[in-house]
Amino acid sequence: MSTVPTPQKTNRLGLSVMEYKGGKTTLCAGCGHNVISERIIDAMFEMGVKPERVIKMSGIGCSSKTPAYFLSRAHSFNSVHGRMPSVTTGAMLANRTLFALGVSGDGDTASIGMGQFIHLMRRNLPVIYIIEDNGVYGLTKGQFSATADIGSKLKTGVINDLPALDTCALAIQSGATFVGRSFSGDKRQLLAMLKAAVAHRGTVMLDIVSPCVTFNDHEGSTKSYDYMKEHDEPLHEVSFVPHFEEITVEYDPGTTMDVTMHDGSHLRLRKLNEDYDPTDKVLAVRSLMESHAKGEVLTGVFHIDTGKPSFLDLLNLAEQPLATLPESVVRPSREALDQVMEELR
Ligand SMILES: Cc1ncc(C[n+]2csc(CCOP(=O)(O)OP(=O)(O)O)c2C)c(N)n1
Ligand code: SF4
Ligand SMILES: [Mg+2]
């Protein structure tokens, strides 16, 4: 008896999800980073992003290795520890038709890369910047990072006596225009946030709590699966309707906030507790500080601003890749040069 193969589901580009996959992971089984790679594959597939347009940028760490495990048809650059922001900025200035996805770790971002991180956020360069946050330097055997909570404990019994940096609060204060926190274990929320991130034009900063099963998943850790299950406090239910899909579900403006994005997609935030306005930066930072004080891990989209020009618009960059501009465009005329020389006299 012959069996008829079921046709593979394809996206709006006619590609199957297989065409968004990467190499086989070499990370530990159960590492949160692997789950984030899977969600990135799903989001890029469902949004119909052309893999060849994507530049996968990273620094150094287990997290920074992950671009090898998704979108093998995209371009990839594994840079120096903490230097992904400057390399990404250069690439996007040289060719603004690219789609930048940066993957970093809490060590890569919040220690050696902090200076570069802050300056990337204030420029509002179009990039999705992901921190795979496990509270430790996984690759170098589990030392505390700067996002580890005060009082959390290493397996060896060492207690962290320094307060954690909140990368979301820093990103909001610095100027990023789409900032949120999620958990690798929350499939629904993470996928909706990644899809909305794809639709945003500007800097997206997502801090994703991603447990390190080898060095930071024990009792006393505040980045473990168990701790997140008990302390994850979603600010709202996040859903997303891309511009190419019909809106089928109505929403009640009393309980749901609908944000229309640049490309006509809709980000919908259904309030769970009190009113929350993600366009209010002060409220966003205050909510984060209050949640820390209560010992909760607040998740959701904390801030969104669809009105701020991106760095590429501010610089008035040409639409086409700089390397393809003809000499007639990039070379000043003899008259223009004479004029400059005249002004220098
Ligand atoms: C310039 C430089 N300094 C230090 C290191 C050593 N080093 C490699 S990875 C790493 C930290 C990685 O931590 P994180 O970014 O949190 O990634 P994870 O492995 O936890 O995913 C450090 C300090 C290095 N490779 N290069
Ligand atoms: S050491 Fe930790 S962060 Fe690195 S791959 Fe293993 S579980 Fe993941
Ligand atoms: Mg880490």
On average, the pLDDT of the chain sits at 95
107 lines ligand 1 (CB under 6 A): yes
Question: Does the structure show a pLDDT above 60 at 2?
Answer: no
pLDDT digits (tens, 9 = 90+) for 46-96: 999 999 999 999 999 999 999 999 999 999 999 999 999 999 999 999 999
Question: Does the structure show a pLDDT above 70 at 290?
Answer: yes
Question: Does the structure show a pLDDT above 90 at 274?
Answer: no
Q: How far apart are CA 128 and CA 102, in angstroms?
A: 6
Query: 125 C-alpha to center of ligand 3: Å?
Result: 24
Q: DSSP class of residue 332?
A: P
What is the reported pLDDT for 168?
98
Question: Does the structure show a pLDDT above 70 at 335?
Answer: yes
What is the reported pLDDT for 273?
66
Query: 269 C-alpha to center of ligand 3: Å?
Result: 29
Residues 6 or more apart whose CB falls under 8 angstroms from that of 273 comprise 235
pLDDT digits (tens, 9 = 90+) for 161-207: 999 999 999 999 999 999 999 999 999 999 999 999 999 999 999 99
8 lines ligand 1 (CB under 6 A): no
Q: How far apart are CA 237 and CA 247, in angstroms?
A: 17
pLDDT digits (tens, 9 = 90+) for 223-232: 999 999 999 9
Top mutation candidate among 28, 33, 60, 66 for ligand 1, by most atoms within 8 Å of CB? 60
Top mutation candidate among 24, 25, 33, 58 for ligand 2, by most atoms within 8 Å of CB? 33
Q: How is residue 206 written in tokens?
A: 């997502």
Q: Say what percent of the chain tops pLDDT 90.
A: 91
6/128: higher pLDDT: 128
Question: Does the structure show a pLDDT above 80 at 308?
Answer: yes
Q: How far apart are CA 99 and CA 14, in angstroms?
A: 19
Query: 136 C-alpha to center of ligand 3: Å?
Result: 4
Residue 6 — very low, low, confident or very high, per pLDDT cuts 50/70/90?
confident
- The closest-lying atom of ligand 2 relative to the alpha carbon of residue 33 is 8
User: Which residue is closest in CA terms to ligand 2's atom 6?
Assistant: 28
Question: Does the structure show a pLDDT above 60 at 32?
Answer: yes
Bridge partners for 303 per DSSP: 179
**Ligand sitting nearest the alpha carbon of 103:** 1
What is the reported pLDDT for 65?
98
What is the reported pLDDT for 1?
55
Top mutation candidate among 81, 104, 144 for ligand 1, by most atoms within 8 Å of CB? 81
300 lines ligand 1 (CB under 6 A): no
Question: Does the structure show a pLDDT above 80 at 4?
Answer: no
Predicted TM-score (pTM) of the model is 0.95
Average pLDDT rounded to a whole number, residues 126-152: 98
